[in-house]
Structure 1
Amino acid sequence: MEALAHIAEWGGDHPRLQAELVQAVRQTAPLLADLPPCLPAPLWPELILPIDRVAQIPAGRIQRAPISVEIAARIARPDMPAVTDALRTLGLRLKTGQAMSRDLVALQAALLPGTLSGIRKDSIALRRADESIDFQAPPAPLLEEGMALLMAQANRAVAAGNLALLAACYASINFLHPFADGNGRTSRRLLLAGIGACLDRDLSQLPIDLVVWSNRTYHDYRLRQITQAGQWSAWVAFLLQMLTHALTRLPALIGSIPPGEGRV
């Protein structure tokens, strides 16, 4: 399989991660197969691709348009007690080995409508006025169904200690509604908590930048061709590729963190 040829580039320095990537590419093709048919599913046999094959996305950052002080303040300090409670519950469940259930599903669905969604659309319009991105989130019932399936996959990934599968779940959470406000914070916390649970480490000291820059691909790269053409499989493949690259950098840092409970 052509995708396997690229694993050496992303995970060759870490034998365990490389083995898990091979396993993930070969065995996780059905990861999103059961999603509602109206949701575009990524092409899992082609998860790991060279950057130049993913809609000709340039290797580099693009300048963001200015954001008003008012919008920046609203984005930086939203009133989100429900989110805080849900994340606390999620962290407790991960640490105690309980299933994530529908806590995160309800959290994600709650972030779509209302003020937060409006804030997010305003910020995107200001940042990308010349790219005409028009994203329509899935209806809430379909979103909940899809998130429930992904949470089940994430539970299995954490239980198996499979970091590559966890990365696929992380990418898929963003795939469901990549421009909805709040899902970036939630998915990053899910990822760090899951990695901590997999490796039996408290990752609270881990620099979040290792994950943040992967999550920003839909901000910092020109994805107009993907969004306008509906090529979500290419978007997910690129995000997972970037995240995989970030995961290859984790072991060196994790080695200096004492064993303990993974937590958010």
Structure 2
Amino acid sequence: MDIEKLKGSPVGELVPISGYDPRFREEYNCFAFVPSPLPDVLNLSAATYAEVVDASAALARADQAASLLPNPVLLARPATRREAVSTSALEGTYAALSDVFEADFLEEDELTGSVSEVRNYVTAAERAYELIEQGHPITVRLLEDLQAQLLKGTPSDGPLAGSVRTTQVFIGVGNRRVESARFVPPPADHRLTEGLRAWETWVRTNALPTVIRVAAAHYQFETLHPFHDGNGRLGRMVAALQFMSAGDLKHPVLNISPWLEQNRAEYQDGLLQVSQTGQWDKWVSFICAAIHAESLEVGARVENLLALRESFQMTLAGAKGVSLRIADDLIGYPMITASLASKLYGVSYQAANTAIAKLVSLGILRQRSKGRYDRIFQCDSVLAALEY
């Protein structure tokens, strides 16, 4: 960690820490960075505020675009899985979007470790979205539960999962000595718990525009690094929860991780630079760019999906019944089985199977694989539109 660049930080302080590193069987002495509580108001330039206004307007347009769908929830489902893929990739866990959709129909022992971990994110996120829609606030207790789900069945699972860390962590240390870490978060003592308590209160009560609050809250959460694993994924999930909690998004159709994944180095450097300089403009501007870019993606994706839905209806030539209902919902369920169709539409397995066979004959669906209990069918054109 570059101590010289953090010595005079106006948004935190360096504190000495010591401990034992079992990897090298030696004691260590270094410094950790403890961020100050977030201010009520951020000192931003007029240019940055203009970007905030533009990002907020783009976010509103994305929300409006989603409302054009007959059922906006259909867009939220694939959006969550796209987010899961990108946010996990930022942490070095890679899985194809199509494999994550397929995971809904497979047993745990049929999944690779990476797909299982990405699916954990989907499960955690969908639970979090449901709670926010019910009016549940964003709390540390909620994040503890979500963190436990994220780590379920992974190498990081165990007695530490589901609770704020009680040990020191080091970011970017790899196999090197702790003194060479890129960043050292606060010690796992009262400074961490008090910082988290202040963060939770700030997130729930601050009155700044949502875009600014998302940027500031994300910086603070990642700097506190409250868990032994999963902080990046949780911090990015919180951004989506903030949009929903504030009413800027009715459904979780927008996530910024895909853009952050494409701009990984700038993302990581931006977090560190706030700690070093105390300057918020560049960081807020960066998050504005992420929101603006992903908002445009949402609009384009909705347009493409609506066009696909219309083309399916034309191919079915005015048909009615289960096959049309399945086709209409492919934008949210690009993979399906007869069992799932039977459950979704309240028809017999045979009726669902016949409807799927018709969609296969028309080239709308194709068989992807045979699951343990059911054949899995996929719509290639919808998957292509979602991966765009």
Name the structure, 1 or 2, with higher relative contact order (CA <8 Å, separation 6+). Answer: 1
User: More strand by proportion, 1 or 2?
Assistant: 2
TM-score normalised by L of structure 1: 0.50
User: More helix by proportion, 1 or 2?
Assistant: 1
TM-score normalised by L of structure 2: 0.37
